[in-house]
Amino acid sequence: MRLIILGPPGSGKGTQSKLLAKKFHLKHISAGDLLRTEIKNNTKDGKAVEKYVNSGRMAPDKTVIKILLNAIPQDNFIFDGFPRNRGQLKYLKHLAIDKVIFLKTPEKIVILRLKKRKFLENRKDDESKAIKTRLKIFHKEMPHILRFYKDKLIMIDGNNSIKHVFNKILKKLSSS
């Protein structure tokens, strides 16, 4: 199974992708987590992307894809929040993706969630200025990605409890 989960920052992609990975024995691949690990480990790539990630901007596609290449298995994976733009989408065109799950979540809810996460995890990309930048990029790029995957797209209301959203995803996956 090859899945992608998308949605605005703070929509619950990470939470839901981890649950799906456990349920279906998939490798969870989060571009954001991989980039933050590179930054934490002070690698060459981490140093190159740190200013982008911390400010909410998108790291260069070439670097993101290089990091992801090392994490992608042949099968049984879920991309968490990737692709985020048309350049990254070009890379994925050759992969046979089974389903794309989109967590539709109101902006006021994602902002509240991100502020809470900022308090709990102290992520620099959850600061107010970075949130605005991330949402602006999301609104600009996501329509192109959703159009590309329109035949594989599963829309889910992300403004519910974790369990409710997960059950809705499972139901949609089993019926498609």
Q: What is the pLDDT of residue 20?
A: 98
Whether the pLDDT of residue 176 is over 80: the answer is: no
User: 136 pLDDT band (50/70/90 cuts)?
Assistant: very high
pLDDT(16) > 90: yes
Task: Report the run of H or E that residue 117 belongs to, with start and end.
Answer: helix 107-121
- pLDDT mean over 86-115: 93
Q: Count the Cβ atoms, other than its own, within 10 Å of residue 100.
A: 22
Return the percent helix, strand and coil in the chain, to nearest 5. Answer: 60, 15, 25
For residue 151, give both structure tokens.
Answer: 């035949």
| pLDDT at site 54 | 87
pLDDT given at position 18: 97
Q: What is the pTM of this model?
A: 0.90
What is the rounded CA–CA span in Å between residue 123 and residue 97?
A: 30
Tell me: pLDDT of 84 over 80: yes
d(CA 101, CA 3): 8
**CB hemisphere CA count around 172 (13 angstroms):** 20
Into which CATH architecture does domain 2-175 fall? 3-Layer(aba) Sandwich (3.40)
Query: What is the average pLDDT across 12-20?
Result: 97
Domain ranges across the chain: 2-175
pLDDT of residue 110: 95
